[in-house]
């Protein structure tokens, strides 16, 4: 018999957190015909959304005159940051996901095209956290004389904390980890890069976790050092 709890298992299978051929996932699929049908629906939706994002991404890249997929490093950094902690399980609603995907494509497309005209890709600097509260990145953003200090503001609830990650955004060492840390009860950080010097361009992310370790929101921004 299909139960509400099965949806969380199906979502973990679709996202790759569970192997459909092993353990509890395999038992569930063997016992529940509805689960097997739902899994096929969810997989098909995931493939369709992936294809849609890929087509839109390539079209935006061509329109902006870019050779690399716009935002690829930033998205990768956000995914890694989220993967370092237990992600909150949420019910997978097909209509909501499809609507959200369309909205994201529209907003990101507008930001990328405007950013390409100024020479710097424009990314969001603030967001509303799950469960209430906001997160806003103050610095570094865009062209700066110095990356330090990294600073943000948030009215996150007591007991919540931040995970911050900085990566190289230059062509030579793109995506290389430069520094990372967890910050408690502070909204500022002045790290030293692991290899001794900061590159000309960086991409950095900040993720907020609640007191139980659930990811409640993250931002990814880019910065570069001003030319002499």
Q: What is the pLDDT along the chain (228 residues), one digit of tens a residue?
A: 667 778 888 888 877 778 888 888 888 888 888 888 888 887 777 776 666 566 555 555 555 555 544 455 555 555 555 444 433 333 333 444 444 555 545 554 554 444 444 344 456 788 888 888 899 999 999 999 999 999 999 988 888 999 999 999 999 999 999 999 999 888 999 998 877 789 999 999 999 999 888 999 999 999 999 975
CA neighbor of 141 nearest in space, from 132, 151, 133: 151
The edge-to-edge listing of strands for the beta sheet with 161-168 is 142-144, 215-225, 201-209, 161-168, 177-184
CA distances from 168 to 72, 83, 199 (A): 13, 19, 7
- Note the helical H segments in 32-93: 33-64, 72-83
CA neighbor of 7 nearest in space, from 23, 22, 28: 28
User: How high is the pLDDT of residue 185?
Assistant: 81
Contact 203, 221 (CB under 8 A): yes
Using CA atoms of 114, 205, 165, 135 in order, give the dihedral in degrees to the nearest 10. Answer: 140
CA neighbor of 156 nearest in space, from 220, 88, 219, 217: 217
Radius of gyration of the chain (CA): 20
Rounded distance between C-alpha atoms, residue 87 and residue 112, angstroms: 28
The edge-to-edge listing of strands for the beta sheet with 126-128 is 126-128, 134-139, 150-154, 188-189
Hey, what domains does the chain have and what are their CATH numbers? 130-225 (2.60.40.10)
User: How high is the pLDDT of residue 206?
Assistant: 95
Element (H, E) at 12: helix 4-14
User: How high is the pLDDT of residue 126?
Assistant: 86
């Amino acid at each position: 018999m299909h139960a509400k709890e099965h949806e969380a298992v199906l979502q973990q299978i679709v996202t790759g957190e569970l192997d459909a051929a092993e353990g509890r996932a395999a038992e569930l699929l063997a016992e529940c015909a509805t689960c097997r049908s739902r899994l096929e629906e969810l997989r098909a939706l995931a493939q369709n959304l992936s294809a849609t994002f890929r087509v839109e991404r390539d079209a935006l890249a061509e329109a902006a005159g870019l050779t690399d997929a716009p935002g690829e490093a930033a998205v990768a950094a956000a995914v890694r940051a989220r993967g370092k902690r237990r992600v909150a399980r949420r019910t997978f609603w097909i209509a909501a996901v499809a609507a959200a995907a369309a909205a994201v494509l529209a907003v990101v497309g507008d930001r990328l095209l405007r950013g390409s005209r100024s020479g710097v890709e424009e990314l969001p600097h603030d967001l509303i956290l799950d469960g209430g509260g906001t997160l806003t990145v103050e610095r570094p953003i865009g062209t700066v004389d110095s990356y330090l200090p990294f600073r943000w503001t948030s009215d996150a609830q007591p007991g919540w904390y931040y995970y911050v990650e900085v990566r190289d955004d230059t062509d030579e060492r793109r995506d290389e980890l430069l520094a990372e840390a967890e910050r408690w009860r502070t909204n500022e950080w002045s790290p030293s890069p692991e290899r001794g010097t900061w590159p000309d361009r960086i991409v950095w992310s900040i993720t907020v976790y609640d007191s139980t370790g659930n990811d409640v929101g993250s931002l990814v921004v880019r910065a570069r050092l001003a030319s002499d």
